[in-house]
Amino acid sequence: MEELYTVSLLISIATFALTATITPGPNNVLLLSSGLTFGYKRTLPHVFGVFLGFGLMVLLVGLGIGIVFERFPIVLKILKVIGILYLFWMAYKIGSSKGHMKIKEKHKPFTFIQAALFQWVNPKGWIMSMTAMSIFVTSKENSIAQVVIIAFLFLLAGAISCNVWAMGGVALKRFIKEESHVRKFNLIMAILLVVSILPVIIES
């Protein structure tokens, strides 16, 4: 029976997954903002929704959804447009926030379901998962097992990355103590959110 992966290739996949998930992107910018605004405990559902939702998406892409996009590229383009428009709206909401130090009751962090569903309109997520499968699924005989391994490594990498960014937001609370600072931070987060999807827009 053909070997699934060598140790060196597993390390390569893990490195790719960690690099892809920990670099700035829509998920991480939103987690940083949530950590600052709501604290780590209230951001936990957001954290779990992101890495579990994305891990599931990677798995499903590897098991066949990617074929749908290859045969019907218009579907992926539609998802990209929806995702880009949604992220622009999120950037506007964050950037136009008044920067109140006390959180109003109507302002709430992402729920687990919201964060998990967001993965399906996140253009960066689709690109990362399809790229991973195209590079690292190397065997027809063991393709399903390889897909499961890749998805699991992305799950672990995502768990690490999401927690790092959420706790990073919590750490920033020490330095952001005035409403003017919060407004500036929100504006920077909004700009970063837009910048994070520019490569997707350019490629599209």
User: Over pLDDT 90: what percentage of the chain?
Assistant: 38
Q: CB of 50 within 8 A of CB of 158?
A: yes
Greatest Cα-to-Cα distance within the chain, rounded to the nearest angstrom:
63
pLDDT tens track for 86-126: 778 878 877 776 655 455 545 789 999 999 999 988 888 88
Residue whose entry in the numeric block shows the structure tokens 């399906």: 120
pLDDT tens track for 143-200: 889 999 999 999 999 999 999 999 999 998 888 777 777 778 778 878 877 887 777 6
Could you tell me how far CA 47 lies from the centroid of its own chain? 10
Round the average pLDDT of the chain to a whole number and report it: 84
Q: 32 CB contacts (<8 Å, ≥6 apart)? A: 165, 166, 168, 169, 172, 189
The secondary structure element, H or E, covering residue 144 is helix 143-172
